[in-house]
Structures are given as C-alpha cells and as structure tokens.
C-alpha cells in the first residue's frame, strides 16, 4: 500500500513516531521518500499553562522542535514545514490548516498522505483525519491508529473497528527497539507516551466517516479526565460535540472550494 513520495501530516510532533515509526522504516526500505508536515508546535498555548510556566513558553516550543528534528533524523524523515499554532488549536482552524496542506501538496507533490485515524484520541487528530479525507480525490490517503478509549479501555495501535482493508504490522524485536528509542527522543512527552505499545502498527486506506458524530459512543480519550473539578493545563476540556460541529462546518465549507 505504501506510496513512493509520502507526506505525513503530523498533528503534534511525536505523532509520526506513535502512529507509524516502523511503517516509515518499511516504506523507506521499499524505496519511498518520506516527508513530514508539522501542523502544530505540539505545546499547549501559553495562556493555558500555569502562570509560573508561561515565561518558559518559548523554551518549551524550542525543546519540542529540537526533539522533532532529532526524531526526523533518527527515522530518516524530511521535515517540510512547521506551523506555529499550539496544540488543541488545529481543530479550531481547519480552513487555514487545509490551505497549508494544499500548499504543501502543490510544492512537494506527494503521491500518498498519512494521517491519524478518526478515533477520538485527540481533537486535532480527528480534525486532521477529516482534512486528509478531503484530499482523497487527489492522491492515496492512509490512516494510522494511535490510541483510543473505545469500550472504556486504553487501546493503542488498534482501530476501533477493523475491516478487510486494515493492515496490522507485527513489529520485529529490532523494530520495537527502534520505535522505543524514537519515543524516548520526545523526553518532554515521556509521561504521555509511556502507554504506547511497541508490538504493532495498524493502517488502512482512509474510511468514509460520519464526521458529524463522535468516533464512538462513551467517553473519548481526551474526555477521560474532565471530571477533575478544577482547571488543569493537562486536562482538555474540549467536548466531542464541539469537535463534531467544527468538522461538519468545515466539510460544508470545503464543498464550496
């Protein structure tokens, strides 16, 4: 399924490792060139941080960028663009992000895009999946499972529902070691990445989802800790219905393009 000129649309620096580190290596072994377009800086917005952290914001962003550069070198990726928007903002700016993607398609002319699956792991991931779907008529698009909370259980590298188009890569011991090393490059995200499985990766041609509905019933991954009664930067207060409305509005807008 892998293309020859692959562009990974990266919601947050580290998603390229979580979702497809071993797949990148296998695609490159088949002769593919693999590039990455980073569509957020991966850090929370400055005003979301604790007050005493805000003066360190530029340092946080620089650290995440340095980690992404190191991971790209380690994986043999070619970075082709860096957005300055913070994490949790991509889903709110879908028309702008679509223009950035469209410009990258014109400049680099990939024959295949890789995007996160629509699985409720992160609002930015779900929005980027919809953006990838809008590019489906222009080139091949693969979606990669990262993590979800389907059935109230932590699941990584597994689609919520599988079908005959899904492919599961069973990682060799050597590939597992390499992926583990790549994850450790993102030391600033060590706490969030500790649950990522190293034994497989799952991908398939992007599906036609009902983006007006959440990816599954019950709590989504990013809603798990919204019971916390006080504001905490690490708790994403985004509601799934907000994301569904934003994606549906973009899909309506995209029909006019």
Placement of tokens 């070691």 in the chain: 177
Question: What does each of the 257 residues of the chain score in pLDDT, given as a tens digit?
Answer: 899 999 999 999 999 999 999 999 999 999 999 999 999 999 999 999 999 999 999 999 999 999 999 999 999 999 999 999 999 999 999 999 999 999 999 999 999 999 999 999 999 999 999 999 999 887 899 999 999 999 999 999 999 998 889 999 999 999 999 999 999 999 999 999 998 999 999 999 999 999 999 999 999 999 999 999 999 999 999 999 999 999 999 999 888 77
Strands 167-170 and 200-205: antiparallel
3-state SS class at 184: helix
pLDDT of residue 137: 82
Q: For the chain, how big is the Rg over CA atoms in Å?
A: 17
pLDDT of residue 255: 82
Domain that includes residue 85, residue range: 5-254
Q: What's the CATH code of the domain at 248?
A: 3.40.50.10320
The residues, ordered by sequence, that sit 6+ positions from 70 with a Cβ below 8 Å of its Cβ are 185
- Quote the CA–CA distance of 25 and 195 in Å, as a whole number: 22
Strand partners, 35: 7, 78
pLDDT of residue 221: 97
Yes or no: say if 131 and 161 are a contact pair by the CB < 8 Å rule: no
pLDDT of residue 21: 98
- Quote the CA–CA distance of 34 and 77 in Å, as a whole number: 6
3-state SS class at 180: helix
pLDDT of residue 60: 97
The residues, ordered by sequence, that sit 6+ positions from 15 with a Cβ below 8 Å of its Cβ are 116, 125, 146
Question: How many separate domains does the chain show?
Answer: 1
Strand partners, 112: 6, 140
Strands 33-38 and 147-148: unpaired
Number of C-alpha atoms within 13 angstroms, CB side, residue 130?
Answer: 33
What pTM was computed for the model? 0.96
- Quote the CA–CA distance of 147 and 160 in Å, as a whole number: 9
DSSP annotation of 233 reads T
Placement of tokens 């019950």 in the chain: 218
């Amino acid at each position: 399924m892998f293309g020859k000129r692959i562009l990974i649309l990266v919601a947050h620096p580290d998603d390229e490792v979580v979702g497809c580190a071993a797949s990148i290596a296998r695609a490159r072994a088949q002769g593919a060139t693999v590039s990455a377009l980073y569509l957020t800086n991966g850090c929370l917005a400055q005003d979301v941080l604790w007050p005493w952290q805000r003066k360190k914001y530029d340092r946080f962003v620089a650290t995440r960028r340095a980690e992404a550069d190191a991971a790209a070198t380690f994986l043999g990726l070619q970075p082709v663009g860096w957005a300055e928007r913070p994490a949790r903002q991509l889903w709110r700016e879908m028309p702008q992000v679509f223009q950035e993607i469209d410009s990258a398609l014109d400049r680099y002319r990939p024959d295949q895009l890789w995007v996160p699956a629509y699985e409720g792991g992160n609002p930015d991931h779900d929005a980027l999946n919809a953006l990838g779907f809008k590019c489906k008529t222009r080139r091949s698009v693969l979606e990669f499972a990262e993590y979800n909370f389907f059935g109230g259980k932590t699941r990584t590298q597994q689609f919520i529902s599988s079908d005959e188009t899904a492919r599961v890569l069973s990682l060799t011991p050597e590939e597992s070691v390499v992926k583990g090393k790549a994850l450790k490059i993102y030391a600033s995200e060590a706490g969030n990445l500790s649950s990522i499985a190293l034994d497989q990766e799952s991908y398939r041609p992007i599906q036609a989802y009902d983006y007006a509905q959440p990816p599954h019933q019950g709590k989504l991954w990013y809603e798990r800790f919204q019971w916390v009664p006080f504001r905490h930067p690490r708790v994403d207060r985004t509601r799934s219905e907000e994301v569904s409305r934003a994606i549906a509005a973009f899909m309506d807008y995209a029909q006019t393009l």
